Amino acid sequence: MTNTPPTPLLEARDLHVEVNGKPILKGLSLTVNAGEVHAIMGPNGSGKSTLSHVVAGKPGYTVTGGSLLYRGQDLQALAPEERARAGIFLAFQYPLEIPGVNNVYLLKAALNAKRKHLGQPEVDAFEFLQLVKAKMQRMQMDEAFLSRGVNEGFSGGEKKRNEVLQMQILEPTLALLDETDSGLDIDALKVVSAGVNDLRSPDRAIVMVTHYQRLLDYIVPDFVHVLADGRILLSGGKELALELEARGYDWVRAQDAA
């Protein structure tokens, strides 16, 4: 970090998190500034998903130590919906099906909630529909999705597209992508990646949690971190991902222990 850093978008310092009484994150530190794209990689069970969930405020995830700040503000004081309105967006690894709650209704309600928070008027219904249709085209989604329940009966790939569609509409400041590449074939991966890349901007940060280097071919990160045993063991540039792909994770642990 440079001498006079601006307030980071996200700053975790020695963060400890428990889920159901079980410690998962054990002293994680991470700083994400506006304009940056971070990739967090690591073996199964290392706490990658926990990090994205605790930032989004999932109930049951308890911060037991350290601090977690968003734009300098303690996140723990905020309800999940307040975090969302303040610009945090989590693209879920397993997007939920909510039959009976209409897709577009959710999108519109979410956008209006954010606009209200920002003191803006509700979005015009016609303009909103035009916007959604345009974004859906971008995500190569069928317009039939408009009338269906949230993720109801969607395939795995469709659900992921729907997550990125929501992200495009809500234009978050901090986007967390939890294994967004899992379950996608190569064509879908390209569409989803393009959707995410649309959002790259100097005012915005993207944090991707992923197993595989493959996603990073399409969404090229500025920083790559290795998360294992509940901590960031190693950070580097995008070339680190290639090294991990080639060598696995064990050497990082060995290096850390040494």
Partner 1 sequence: MSIDNLRALGLPSGRDEAWKYAARTLSRRDWWSAPSDALSLPDKAAIDAAVLPVEAPVLVFAGGHAVPRALGGFGALPAGVSLRPLSEDAVKAPTGDSGEQRIAAIAAATTPGAWELAVAANVDAGSLQLLHLPAPGTGALVLRIRLARGARLQLLESLADGESALAGATSAAGSATGSAANSPAPTLTRWLQVQLADGASLTHAIVQQLPLDAALLEQLDVSVGRDATYLGLPVSLGAQAAHTAAHLSLEGPGAFGHWQQFLRVDGNQHTDVQLTVTHAAANTTSTQAVRALAGGRSRGAFSGKVVMPPSAHGADSAQSIRNLLLSATAELDTRPQLEIHVDDVKASHGSTTGSLDEQALFYLRSRGIGEQEARRLLMQAFAADVIARLPWPSLREWLATRVLP
Q: Which chain residues interact with partner 1 by CB under 8 A?
A: 56-59, 79-81, 83-85, 89-90, 92, 95-96, 98-101, 105-106, 109-110, 113-114, 117, 149-150, 166, 170
CB-nearer residue toward partner 1: 52 or 213: 52
Paired tokens of 35 = 């304009």
CB-nearer residue toward partner 1: 48 or 231: 48
CB-nearer residue toward partner 1: 114 or 161: 114
CB-nearer residue toward partner 1: 105 or 251: 105
Q: State the helix-helix crossing angle for 103-117 and 125-138, rounded to 10 degrees.
A: 110
Paired tokens of 80 = 């999940």
Q: How far is the CB of 190 from partner 1 (least distance, A)?
A: 25
Spatial CB neighbours of 30, under 8 Å, sequence gap ≥ 6: 10, 11, 12, 15, 38, 40, 51, 225, 232
Q: How far is the CB of 114 from partner 1 (least distance, A)?
A: 5
CB-nearer residue toward partner 1: 166 or 213: 166
Q: How far is the CB of 192 from partner 1 (least distance, A)?
A: 18
Q: How far is the CB of 33 from partner 1 (least distance, A)?
A: 23
Q: How far is the CB of 85 from partner 1 (least distance, A)?
A: 5
